[in-house]
Structure 1
Amino acid sequence: MKMSGLLNRRSNDLAGVVGAVRQVPAGAPAPKRLGGKDVVVLDLNRTSAATARALVDAEVAAVVHVARPGEEMLPRAAFRILAGSTVPVIEDADLSGVADGTRVRIDEGVVYAVKTDEELATGREAGSADLLAEVDAAESSYVESALAHLANSTEFLSIEHQLLLDGEGLPEIDVDFVDRHVVVVTGSESSKEQLADLKPFIREYRPVLVGVDGGADLLRAAKLTADLVVATPTAVSDEVLTDGAVLVVPADRDGRAEGLERISELGIGATTFPAAATARDMALLLAYHGGAEMIVATGEARGLENAFGASSSPSSTMVDTTVASRLVHAEACATLYRSRGAGIGLALVVLAALIAVAVVVLMRDSAQDLLVWAVESWNSFALWVQGLIR
Structure 2
Amino acid sequence: MQGVARFDRRTKLLVQRLHAGDIAIIDHPDLDGVAAEALADRQIAAVVNLSPFITGRYPNAGPSILLRAGIPLYECHDSNLADAVQEGAKVTISGNTLCLNHLPEASFPLQRLDEARVQQLLELAQQRLKSELRAFAQNTLEYLQEESDALLDVLAVPEISTPIAGRHAVVVVRGERFKQDLIAIRNYLREMRPVLIAVDGGADALLEMGFHPDIIVGDMDSVGDKALRCGAELVVHQYTSTERVSPGLERVQRLGLPHKVWRTPGTSEDIAMLLAYEKGAQLIVAVGTHFSLLEFLEKGRRGMSSTFLTRLRVGDKLVDAKGVSQLYPKRFAWREFGWLFVAALTPVVVAFLLSPIGRDLVRLLMVWLRLRLHF
Relative contact order, higher structure (CA 8 A, sep 6+): 2
- TM-score normalized with structure 1 length: 0.48
> TM-score scaled by structure 2?
0.50
